[in-house]
Structure 1
């Protein structure tokens, strides 16, 4: 049951990241830190010419890019 809830949360988070791709965001991490910058969440290449959304995204703060795993995100919103 826990896995199902985690999978649903992960899919909802992916959907939100797709919506916010390319915009200014505020990302709250599970460790209590916050990143404010531009979100990049793009399709990655999979096997046999498939595409998929990965379990990580990039937030660029000023000129530094941070890669963040989806399971490390407590909340994300436009900012």
Structure 2
């Protein structure tokens, strides 16, 4: 699997888990456990697009993470 396919798979998984408690493992070795905010956006032409960042809220603190820095994402 090439990098763009891997990133797309992470984005698809993030859409599925939007609004739930997740565990996100980052390429830096850190792990975030919290509520995920990630949803498809609609651009000016009416096409849906995937944001390049996701937000994990841990104990009321929001952490914004680039999707290409996520190693894995799963239910927490």
> Do they superpose with TM above 0.5?
yes
Shift of 1:55: 1.3
Q: Of 52, 55, 59, which residue of structure 1 is paired with 2:52?
A: 55
User: How many residues of Structure 1 are paired with residues of Structure 2 in the alignment?
Assistant: 76
Segments of 4+ in structure 1 off by > 4 A? none
Higher relative contact order (CA 8 A, sep 6+): 2
Partner of 1:15: 12
Unpaired segments of 5 or more residues in structure 1?
A: none
User: In structure 2, how many angstroms separate the alpha carbons of the residues matched to 1:76 and 1:49?
Assistant: 28
Note if 1:74 corresponds to 2:71: yes
Largest Rg, 1 or 2: 1
Indicate the SS of the match to 2:25: strand
Partner of 1:40: 37
Indicate the SS of the match to 1:48: coil
Unpaired segments of 5 or more residues in structure 2?
A: none
RMSD of aligned alpha carbons: 1.4
Partner of 2:24: 27
More helix by share: 1
